[in-house]
A and B are shown apart, each in its own frame.
Chain A
Amino acid sequence: MSVVPSNSGQRTGRLYWSVQAGRNVGVRGLFLVVLAFIVAYGFLFPGLFTMAGFAKFTQSWFPLALVAMAQALLMLTGGISLAIGATVSLGAVIAATTMVGPLGVAGGSALVAATGLGIGAITGFIVVKLRLPAIVVTLAGSFIIGGAALLILPRPGGAMPEWLSDLLAGNTPAAFLLLVVVVLLWKLYLATPLGLSLYAAGENPVGAYRSGVPVDAARIAAYALSGLLSTGAGLFVAAQTGSGDPVIGAAFTLNSIAAAVLGGIGFLGGQGTMRGALAGSLLLSLMISVMFFLGFTPVAQYVAQGLIIIGAVALPQFRKVQR
């Protein structure tokens, strides 16, 4: 599974695409399910195919896509984070308290990005260099990060510049374009030495280390990038709601793991692809929207969501057993 595109100069285009196609094998079924859901959604809500409808839908998907990428990035290196939700909240409150102040949008964005990178790097350092289990570190970290969010903004409030909210969460597909940019940046990152080491560090850390792969650096970088993606999602959520809320990210921890696992990312590291995680987050997002349009009560939504996640994860396992 963990074939990483080589960045050597003489790679032929044909080889590259055949390798890429080979990596789709595991997620083909998922793509079909996603497609079916898109058709169902378009049928229930024909407005999806207008510019405004498309913009609205991609906006509801965008933050989930970012946190799914953040979680998948960690799971590929054999890590996990239970602090994603708290980090999203922290990003949201920082954005909502700085952007209308003297720092402005540029300064606020820089602060949000630096916070995400910093928190992620510290978490990564503790997990990798001090050798503490990731689950427990990020669990404790979620208290610290959530507490910091509460310190900055004890209750929902703050404000976002109106033009930014209009740009990101208005009737333009800016969120979708941003996502395309993020995915392109991910592709670029995979071509750097650290990105190349990512899969190796997750799949077989000892073997990779002995082959000279910078395993520790790759894992710490993954945590830092994951933090950046999470606070970025927080910034977007703040723009969407027009204000900051210190607990707004809570649901993202669970959903990020669910999306990554739906997308075929393994818990043991080195298994899965980012496109799978993105498809997983899209499926989750579509599922929630379709159930909403079908008039499911919140209760039925919870129940159905639980069942669908288990079903989607269990089915591929059945096929593996039969083989």
Chain B
Amino acid sequence: MSPKARIMTVLGSRPFLTLLVVAAVWIVASFATRGFGAFGHLRYLVELAAVIGLVAAGQTFVVIAGGIDLSVAAIVTVAAVGLPLVSSSADPTGLSAILLVLTMTTAIGLVNGLGVAYLRVHPMIMTLAMATFLQGLLIIIAGGSAVSLQNPLVGWLGNARPLGIPAGVVLWIALAAIVLFVMHATPFGARIFAIGANPRAAELSGVPVPATTIAIYGVSGLTAGLAGVLVLGMNGQGYVGIGDPYLLASIAAVVLGGTSILGGLGTYAGTIPGSILLVTITALITVVNASPGWRSILFGSLILGLLLLSGREAARR
């Protein structure tokens, strides 16, 4: 491909278009509402988007592989509620608790993967049942009350701003780099696209489908756990239901970023502006100062409208 053609491909790609939409919305909103375009406000939006971006990282993997993970909200909550409970005073940095929680959420994801790969339960059912299961578990461990945070590292992650950039955003950038590398430059990434496009063909071509599937759901559990840790740091306390908004947000971010919900097609590079777009929409709706009903209607309509612009499937005949 000539350099010019390559540039044209990038300019015409879905991730770039989503980025353009975000830029357009930001510019228009900055002129329309006072304070929207302030650096502090935009930085705050990106900080909020980081949580969605983390959850959506795993979701992007799962969706590209032709599945869907409906347990991410429950996993975020498990991480946010579980972390204060496993934090011990013996470890002054709080790192051990974070690692323990991330191991736990990864294990939850791996169980999802086992169910999908070996029990051949449809991903939607497997992860929904897992979410139901975790909901019960959460009531046991948290008893319905909020738990406050006493973990220095998590607090730093949620509040610190090295060089003016929120630590959560730094974490997001680092994770995004890893995810993009794994997705587009490793055999593992290639296998995910192969499974999503045609699992049978992938299997016959020698792709270890069950192992890859299990790994994908494990990744989703890991990134959802990371998001839970971050949201706990930003919030200061964890409670049952803290992760609920992130299920729909993660799926919407993935789809708005141009990843096909049918699998086999997409990139995390689109999910990143997708997450920011989603947070921007929510912020704008809050600015409008409407009743909860109208806010919900506006949110749904805007997502539907954006989908009409970009998310259409090819004609099947």
Contact = CB atoms under 8 A, between A and B. Distances in A.
Interface string A249-278: 000001001100100000100000000000
A305 interface: yes
Interface of A: 126, 130-133, 135-137, 139-152, 154, 205-206, 209-210, 254, 257-258, 261, 267, 298-303, 305-307, 309-310, 313-314, 317-318, 321
Main secondary structure of the interface of A (DSSP, over half): helix
25 contacts: A130-B308, A130-B312, A133-B313, A135-B68, A140-B300, A140-B303, A144-B304, A147-B293, A147-B294, A147-B296, A147-B298, A151-B291, A154-B292, A206-B316, A298-B136, A299-B139, A299-B140, A302-B133, A302-B136, A303-B136, A305-B132, A306-B132, A309-B132, A314-B119, A317-B120
B293 A150 contact: yes
B311 A132 contact: yes
Contacts of B294: 147, 151
B122 A131 contact: no
B297 interface: yes
Interface residues of B, number: 48
Nearest to A127: B313
A222 to B, nearest CB: 17
Contacts, number: 146
Interface of B: 68, 115, 119-122, 124-126, 128-130, 132-133, 135-137, 139-140, 248, 251-252, 255, 260-262, 291-301, 303-304, 307-308, 311-317
Contacts of B300: 140-145, 147
Nearest to A314: B119
Contacts of A314: 115, 119-121
Contact of A136 (B125, B140, B311): B311
A303 B132 CA distance: 7
Most chain-B CB neighbours within 10 Å: which of A267, A303, A305?
A303
A133 B258 CA distance: 12
Nearest to B118: A314
B132 A313 contact: no
B315 A131 contact: yes
